[in-house]
């Protein structure tokens, strides 16, 4: 069974009530359950984490790099301005897949820049919780 880290950035702990028109009504715990259910058929072991803190996310990326784990990451707002998250993610040796619930390119201009996309294997955006499940099935085929 292959281990996968799924990392979530700031404010994603508020899903369910946070801008439901943009992000949907599922909580992050419900998205985690969906990922874990999908992982059974894909033979993945999921390590699902969320933090509002940049340093914590960087520490988790270092951990994934050391353990050579693939990472699916929704960096949330850090996507658009954190060079530190990008630098930590660049140390990964296994694939990184960037995910977003919404489609940032279809939103405000400040969301059009991603510091992560350039070092990710690919990006899946705009499919709500399904973005995470699509990332898992893409990873299974790599
Ligand atoms: C997000 C998109 C980001 O622009 C935003 O800052 C988020 C969530 C998404 O999943 O759609 O917090 O990453």
What is the pTM assigned to this prediction?
A: 0.97
**Is 112 one of the catalytic residues?**
no
Which of the following is catalytic: 81, 100, 112, 132? Answer: 100
Pocket test for ligand 1, best of 101, 108, 109, 114 (most atoms within 8 A of CB): 101
Q: How far is CA 95 from CA 5, 73, 127, in A?
A: 11, 11, 21
CB 99 within 8 Å of CB 131: yes
Assign residue 45 the CATH number of its domain. 3.40.50.9100
Question: Structural domain of residue 10, as residue ranges?
Answer: 2-141
Q: pLDDT digits over 95-133, tens only?
A: 999 999 999 999 999 999 999 999 999 999 999 999 999
d(CA 51, CA 142): 27
**Is 100 one of the catalytic residues?**
yes
d(CA 72, CA 6): 5
Pocket test for ligand 1, best of 20, 57, 97, 102 (most atoms within 8 A of CB): 102
Q: pLDDT digits over 11-52, tens only?
A: 999 999 998 888 989 999 999 999 999 999 999 999 999 999
- Per the structure, how many domains does the chain have? 1
106 burial class (0-12, 13-18, 19+ CB within 10 angstroms)? exposed
């Amino acid at each position: 069974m292959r281990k996968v880290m799924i990392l979530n950035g700031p404010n994603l702990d508020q899903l369910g009530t946070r801008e439901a028109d943009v992000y949907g009504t599922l909580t992050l715990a419900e998205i985690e359950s969906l990922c874990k259910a999908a992982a059974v058929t894909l033979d993945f072991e999921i390590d699902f984490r969320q933090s509002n803190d940049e340093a914590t996310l960087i520490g988790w990326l270092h951990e994934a790099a050391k353990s050579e784990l693939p990472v699916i990451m929704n960096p949330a707002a850090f996507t658009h301005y954190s060079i530190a998250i990008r630098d930590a993610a660049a140390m990964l040796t296994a694939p990184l897949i960037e995910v977003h619930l919404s489609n940032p390119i279809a939103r405000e201009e400040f969301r059009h820049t991603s510091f992560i996309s350039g070092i990710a294997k690919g990006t899946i955006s705009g499919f709500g919780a399904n973005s995470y499940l699509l990332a898992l099935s893409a990873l299974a085929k790599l």
